[in-house]
Structure 1
Amino acid sequence: MNSTQTDLRKIFLFSLYLFCSFTFAEAEEVEPGTYRDLTKALQDPLDVRVLDLNGQKLKTLPKEIEQLKNLQELYLSDNQLKTLSNEIGKLKNLQSLDLSDNQLKTLPKEIEQLKNLQELYLNDNQLTTLPNEIDQLKKLQQLNLSNNQLKTLPKEIRQLQNLQELYLNYN
């Protein structure tokens, strides 16, 4: 290969790298109403539909979360949450809640206020019990409780008529 071909090859590879970088950056843009930063989300709280705070080393759920009245999906996976504050109950429009891979031992009874919740991911925590109020989640379709420390479930869980998927492995 002569030096001209080598130079052309380098230019081509660099161009390909730039193209891929821009394409990836565009893919990182999120849908309107979707946020990955709570501070930005709080600038227009009623616009927020999806909040992804996965992997942000959160130790507590920020109280300001209650301002997100139209929030439908909340992703809090892979943090360091040991407890869940009562503010969670104020998210009346929440349909999907991912609390997997945290350090939760219990859930607040305010979880019962999430009447529109359809998906609840609690896998990979340290849950030993569930609140009896779980039966108030009438729209719940999927509940993942895998990899916890549950020995029993509240009998109220039978009241979840719309529950289609229940994961209990490794308890």
Structure 2
Amino acid sequence: MIDLAWRSLTTLPPLPSEATGLRVDGNRLASLPGLSALPSLRVLHADGNRLTTVPRCPPYLEELYLYGNAIADLGDPLPPTLRHLSAGGNGLTEAPAWLWSLDRLESLNLAENALTTLPPGISNLRRLRMLDLGHNRLDAIPAEVGDLPLTDYLYLSDNGFTEAPASLGRLDRLAYLNLTDNRLTSLPSSLGDMASLVELRLYNNRLAELPSSIGRLGALRELHLKGNRLRELPPSIADLASLRQLDLRDNQLAGLPDLGRLHRLTHLDLRNNRLRTLPDTLPPALEKLDLRWNKLDDEPPVLSRLRDRGCVILR
């Protein structure tokens, strides 16, 4: 890897034709001519420059990182050998049709652009493990997203989604799902089919209830629901046997189901709800319980038991 990052470059020096990797992040490069003369180049890092067009790439490039430039159009097709593409933080308003033919892609980052639609052709990315479409202007998630072989993460935060398709339930190998900062009012019952989900982030939506199927997420360790409109929780939430962290801040909860079976839960955040009482049992392994900005009628006995075990309680 030839490392020329963070050197205030405006042009590239001569490069050896046998170079296999090039890192030029954080410079002032407005263009990258001559890369096609590097036939062995497999990896190009060019984040944080002043590029307005995608450089002409050598034919066997496998990784291309262009985050934080000023590229408004991805231009001509990229090499079909590409496995990782990062083009977030540019000025993209649409993705070209050829993008969905890059069937060797394993990760695709188009976050922080101005995309408004996704075509059904996204399902052609049959090797995709990681997809980041956060911070765009998308108003619908195509059902075909459920056909992707995603395993690592799916970021869909800060768009304009009002609903999530039932097809998300087919992502049964996905570990991380982020749908924060949208306008979701409900979740499909198929959510419970996402058997490998470890972390689920849904904060700052408009959810008034959760599907009872959420209790089937047996691998889930973190559930983030801050800033919704939840008035109650389904009793099945107590079936989340692997849960370690549960964030319920800024909702409208007036009561809680029995959570005593959440034996691995260590952090429970209930700030700014409408709680007047607590259930007789709470998770026995709690290390921190935040109850601030509720108006409990009295001191529930369960709090004394938790304090005796060393739990930090904030009221």
TM-score in same-fold range (> 0.5) = yes
Query: What SS does the corresponding residue of 1:153 show, helix, strand or coil?
Result: coil
Distance in 2 between residues matched to 1:153 and 1:66, nearest whole Å: 27
Matched, 1:114 2:240: yes
User: Does 1:139 find its partner at 2:281?
Assistant: no
> Which runs of structure 2 are paired with 1:9-158 in the superposition (5 Å)?
12=28, 16-18=49-51, 20-21=68-69, 25=88, 33-37=152-156, 42=168, 45-131=171-257, 133-157=258-282
Letter of the 1:148 partner, please give it. N
Structure 2 length-normalised TM: 0.45
Letter in 1 for 2:279: P
Structure 1 position 44, deviation (Å): 5.7
How many pairs does the alignment contain?
Answer: 158
Q: Which amino acid aligns with 1:51?
A: L
SS of residue paired to 1:135:
coil
Q: Deviations over 1:135-158 (max 9, x none)?
A: 11110000000011111111212x
User: Unmatched 5+ residue regions in structure 1?
Assistant: 1-7
User: Matched residue of 1:42: which SS?
Assistant: helix
Match of 1:165 in 2: 288
Between Structure 1 and Structure 2, the one with more helix by share is 1
Counterpart Cα distance in 2 of 1:119 and 1:43: 22
Give the share of equivalent positions with the same residue, in percent: 32
Partner of 1:4: none
> 1:94–1:43: structure 2 CA closer, same or farther, 3 Å change rule?
closer
Residue type at the aligned position of 1:169: R
The Cα shift of 1:32 comes to 5.2
CA contact (8 A) 2:220 2:243 kept: yes
Please say if residues 169 and 190 of structure 2, whose CA atoms lie closer than 8 Å, have aligned partners that are also in contact: no
Aligned to 1:5: none
By relative contact order (CA 8 Å, sep 6+), the higher-ranking structure is: 1
d(CA) in 2 for partners of 1:162, 1:71: 22
Deviations 1:41-85 (A, max 9, x none): 838623200010112211111122122111111111011011111
Which runs of 5 or more structure 2 residues have no equivalent in the other structure? Answer: 1-9, 11-27, 32-48, 52-65, 72-85, 89-108, 112-130, 133-149, 157-163, 295-315
Matches of 1:35 and 1:44 in 2, distance apart? 13
3-state DSSP of counterpart to 1:162 = coil
Name the CA distance, whole Å, in 2 between partners of 1:78 and 1:45.
23
Q: 1:47 to 1:96 in 2, by over 3 A?
A: same
Distance in 1, Cα, partners of 2:110 & 2:190: 29
SS at match of 2:281: helix
Letter in 2 for 1:56: N
Find the aligned partners of 2:187 and 2:270 in 1 and give their Cα distance.
20
